[in-house]
Structure 1
């Protein structure tokens, strides 16, 4: 129950969404996922093909997609499994590649999802594509059914693409080259969409600077260095941005 500010009495909770409204929100969530799905499904096909070409069992495609559900990480894990990479190196790679999801949680609308099981799934399915699609939506149009429907549809694209890739890999007589570029292309499109919708030019410049510095100073560990440097720059920018209103207020009071 919520308390009415004017009368001091307990105000009733807002009624839950009607079934027709919930169905409309679910349909909108599935429609929201279509743009990301154009990249997720082919990328899933690439994952399935890479698994077959690496000589790994076919069931690894759906198993990885359901256990991890992180496209960039899964593509890296396929190569690491094929090369029998030490477990410590795998653990460090998982930490570095997926550490960005910690910062996603700061602005991802998990507060809209109330049911514990649904919220746990929303956290599990908080992938780059879901974050980018949600960031382009106005605040007033976001809802739990729309968010969850979009995330479920994205996972369906990914798992389905992996199974199609496995079938194609078993049928093709020769390996297909260049599939790993699909991941780079997908991230490029998502970055451009997010930039156009939010005009985050400073973040884009900080990311580019981090990549250039990492490639120059530590070419062998460019990804790790770029991620750590980008995080440090984002934290510094957040600190400066948070202090600016306080400084302005002190100046006005003086």
Structure 2
């Protein structure tokens, strides 16, 4: 704070310094999420079109995107709903597909988010893209409000584009195929972006590939869960091995 002399008595009196301008966290989050939002647009449109082409009502796409917000599981859910799959089978499939979020929670910056409501929504809206954006090198100084805005915008992108895709789905010819591959394409782009931030750490992607191949050979029916388990075990083993090495001065 500044020390400014007062005319009466000539004694100095502390005067609070002017507060610095507060940066709009919503505007910053909008800039941060713009790239993924552009990726969500064709993906959501594809999901919405796939919903209507599967014989479901258009509003089902928006409701699923807003409440389930499961990305890859939502694509799987379309076939299960149209096939009238048992509720227990849907619940088990949801667990197997989304169990990766348990591992995300180990490094997701939830501790920066304040308030019970904010933490609850941040936990609910922790999708793959939000995790990739908030755990990067440049996101280490982001405050909780910016993280919440980022997650809300990603949620909005997905729900809005899915609803628009369902409304426009009738305009897409039924002969068009490959709409469900849009999710795989987005994951491929995110994986390439993550590889660029590893800074030459070749063992990590190598362990991921080996874990996926091992899961494919050993338990192809539960490849996703087995791959994550193998990858986590490999990372823990590597961490224990490197931490036990003697440190040189």
TM-score (norm 1): 0.82
Higher helix share: 1
- CA deviations over 1:121-162 (Å, ceiling 9, x no partner): 111111000111112243553111211111111111101110
Inter-partner Cα distance in structure 1 for 2:163 and 2:157: 10
What residue ranges of structure 2 are gaps of 5+ in the alignment?
Answer: 1-18
Inter-partner Cα distance in structure 2 for 1:19 and 1:56: 52
- 1:194–1:169 distance in 2 versus 1, CA, 3 Å: same
- 1:139–1:186 distance in 2 versus 1, CA, 3 Å: closer
Matched residue, 2:150: 150
Matched residue, 1:3: none
Aligned match for 1:248, one of 232, 246, 249: 246
> Following TM superposition, by how much is the alpha carbon of 1:175 offset from its aligned partner in structure 2, in angstroms?
4.5
- 1:182–1:118 distance in 2 versus 1, CA, 3 Å: same
Inter-partner Cα distance in structure 1 for 2:44 and 2:178: 14
| Rg larger in structure | 2
Matched residue, 1:205: 206
Inter-partner Cα distance in structure 2 for 1:237 and 1:84: 44
Matched residue, 1:114: 114
* Moved beyond 6 Å, runs of 4+: none
Which is worse superposed, 198-207 or 162-171?
Answer: 198-207
Inter-partner Cα distance in structure 1 for 2:148 and 2:23: 11
Matched residue, 1:71: 71
- 1:67–1:175 distance in 2 versus 1, CA, 3 Å: farther
**1:1-254 pair list within 5 angstroms:** 20-23=21-24, 25-138=25-138, 141-199=141-199, 200-241=201-242, 243-244=243-244, 247-248=245-246
Inter-partner Cα distance in structure 2 for 1:146 and 1:194: 21
Q: CA-atom RMSD, angstroms?
A: 2.2
- CA deviations over 1:76-122 (Å, ceiling 9, x no partner): 11111112222222222111111111111121111111121111111
